[in-house]
Structures are given as C-alpha cells and as structure tokens.
C-alpha cells in the first residue's frame, strides 16, 4: 500500500482532521507542494454560499481565490505555527515549508491570518 510516507491525516481533539508529521522535519524542509484550483474573482460570491468558504486561500491581489489540493486544505491554524504556506502564483502551487523543527507525531499547522478571508470567523471552531 503506497501512501505519503511523511504526512498522516488524523482526527484532532477539537479541530476535525489535521495533518501530522510521520517523521522529524527541519526548518526549510518543503513539506508539500499542493496543486491549486484557481477560482476567478467573479465566482467567489457563489463559493461563499457553500462550505468551501471555510477552505479557500486568497490568490494574488486581483480578488481571485484558490482551493488547495494535496493536503493543503487540511492543515489547521495555529497562532504560532510550525509551517508556512507560500503561494507560487505562476506555477499554481502552494508550497508548505517547515519554519520550526517538527517532531515525528506532531501536528503541522499554518497561520490562516494572512491567507484566508474566513479565518477570524471560524478557524477556532471549524471541523477541518
């Protein structure tokens, strides 16, 4: 059975699913390159009527947003995260990079503050 060897999806106690390190990760490690689906600005109003409002990332400066594939949509928020999401606009990827050494078994978190519209409203209670 083939699976991503260094990332595990597990239920967390309070935040629904989360991503956990399957091995020790070090500052600068590229944890994942997440392909994205870009949603043009004119469609965002429709997306906001759905559960995907809780998931999308801002994309560029023109009002587009994106859905992160890979495990990009499942990393939970932390005010003091151990990873960072970097938008690669030309390549249509989000790069998840380790910004603090992470032990095997530890949850991998990012900050939604700069990257998600919905963050202040929901991230403490979301089920994902």
Residue 29 found at the interface with a second copy (CB under 8 A): yes
Is residue 18 involved in binding a second copy (CB under 8 A)? no
41-47-52-57 Cα dihedral, nearest 10 degrees: 10
CB of 75 to a second copy, least distance (A): 11
SS3 128: coil
- What token pair was written down for 67? 């859905």
Unique residue bearing structure tokens 């995260």: 81
CA dist list (Å): 87 to 36, 46, 68 = 10, 23, 10
Which of residues 12, 20, 24, 47 is near a second copy by CB under 8 A?
47
Among 15, 57, 59, 67, binds a second copy (CB under 8 A): 67
Residue 90 interacts with a second copy (CB under 8 A): yes or no: no
Query: With CB under 8 A as the contact rule, which of the stretches 4-12, 75-83, 99-107, 110-118 interacts with a second copy?
Result: 4-12
Which range in 46-54, 77-85, 100-108, 116-124 contacts a second copy by CB under 8 A? 46-54
Residue 125 sits in the site that holds a second copy (CB under 8 A) = no
Using alpha carbons, select from 44, 79, 69 the residue that is nearest to residue 58. 44
């Amino acid at each position: 059975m083939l699976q991503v060897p260094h990332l595990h999806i597990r239920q967390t106690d309070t935040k629904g699913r989360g991503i956990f390190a399957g091995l020790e990760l070090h500052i600068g490690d590229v944890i994942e390159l997440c392909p994205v689906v870009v949603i043009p600005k004119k469609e965002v109003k429709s997306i906001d009527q759905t559960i995907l409002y809780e998931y999308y990332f801002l994309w560029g400066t023109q009002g587009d947003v994106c859905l992160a594939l890979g495990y990009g949509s499942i990393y939970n928020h932390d005010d003091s995260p151990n990873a960072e999401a970097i938008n690669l606009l030309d390549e249509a990827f989000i790069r998840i990079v380790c910004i603090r050494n992470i032990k095997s078994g530890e949850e991998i978190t990012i900050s939604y503050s700069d990257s998600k519209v919905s963050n202040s409203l929901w991230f403490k209670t979301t089920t994902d």
